[in-house]
Structures are given as structure tokens and as C-alpha cells.
Amino acid sequence: MLTSRLARLTLSSFALLVAGAAHAAASGPDYVLNLAHSTLSYTFTQAGAANHGVFKSFSVQFDPHAKALTVVIDMHSFDTHDAQRNTLLGGAQFFDVARYPQARFTATRLQRTANGFIATGPLTLRGVTRTVSIAFTWQPRGGSAELQGKTVIDRLAFGIGQGEWRATEWLGNPVTVRFALRMVPAVH
């Protein structure tokens, strides 16, 4: 009697394990960033001229089936290709990287579109959290996929530009963020 109960319990546990594995396989893989083949850049206007920068260190996890997307940016990794501008932007009046070393976006809603998704959720930047929506395309290519898009953020809504830099006369308020990401299946 005990042996048959143990056998049924073992068989039930095995069936649950197989069902879970089948569900995971049916839902598809989740993806992580291949940083070497990805870019995250931004464009802002200073004194009427477009200026560009990049982030060199960031991570992205995306599961299109579970509708989950998380982006974490190492704010120390920004680069505008101008040492003086980098020092200013990293300081307390702008990114304040000493106090806020990371920016984070986590989708709380992921809506499919004709050729991609719209991700909506909290973006935390410089210690300020605002809900944003980001549209992007999703193109599977063999064993990897391309995730691309752009969004415009209001720098002042996140406290980027303190003191004299709050004025938009010399430094524009909108910042365009572009991303071209190579995503590969996560290894579990």
C-alpha cells in the first residue's frame, strides 16, 4: 500500500515536471542581450546643435511569450565623446552618477503590434520614476533576434538639469533615445 502511494506520488511529480518543461518549450525562450552587437544611444540639443552619446554597459532581458522586459543601464558608462561634457553630465546637476548609478525600465504591460511591441512601465532615472511607453520592432533571425526602436523622454521630468540647466534656452528638454539590440536565447 505504501509502495503504491509512493509510486503514484513519484509518477505525479514526474508528470508535473514534464508538463512544466513542455509549457516552457511551447512558450519559447526568453532572450538576453548580446552587448557586443548592440547599441543604446541618445541625442540632445545644446546651443541649437544636435549632440550624441552612448551607454556602453547595460543589460536587457526579454521574454515575448511571458510579456516580460527589463532594461538596466550602468549610468557610469555614458559617453558623449567629449571629456568636458562627460564630466558635467556625470555630475550632480545632470545624471548624478555617484548617487544614482543605475537607470531601470521594467515593462508592466507589453502589447503586441503588427511588427513588434509597445512596452509600458516605470522608468527610474536619477532617482525619479515615471511611466513611459516604448515602441519597438522584434525580428527573429535564426537563433537570435533584433530588437530596435526609439523613444523621446523629457529630461526635466527626471530632474536631469538642475540649477541654471533647468532652462531650455541652451539645452533642449527632449532627449531621443535609440536602441538596436541583438538578443540571444538565455541559457538556463
Which pLDDT tens digit goes with each residue over 130-139?
A: 999 999 999 9
Angle at 121 between CA 91 and CA 132, to 5 degrees: 60
pTM more than 0.75: yes
**Whole-number pLDDT of residue 13:** 37
**Whole-number pLDDT of residue 19:** 35
Closest CA to 125 of 83, 168, 169, 78: 78
**Whole-number pLDDT of residue 115:** 85
Give the fold, CATH level 3, of 28-185: Lipocalin (2.40.128)
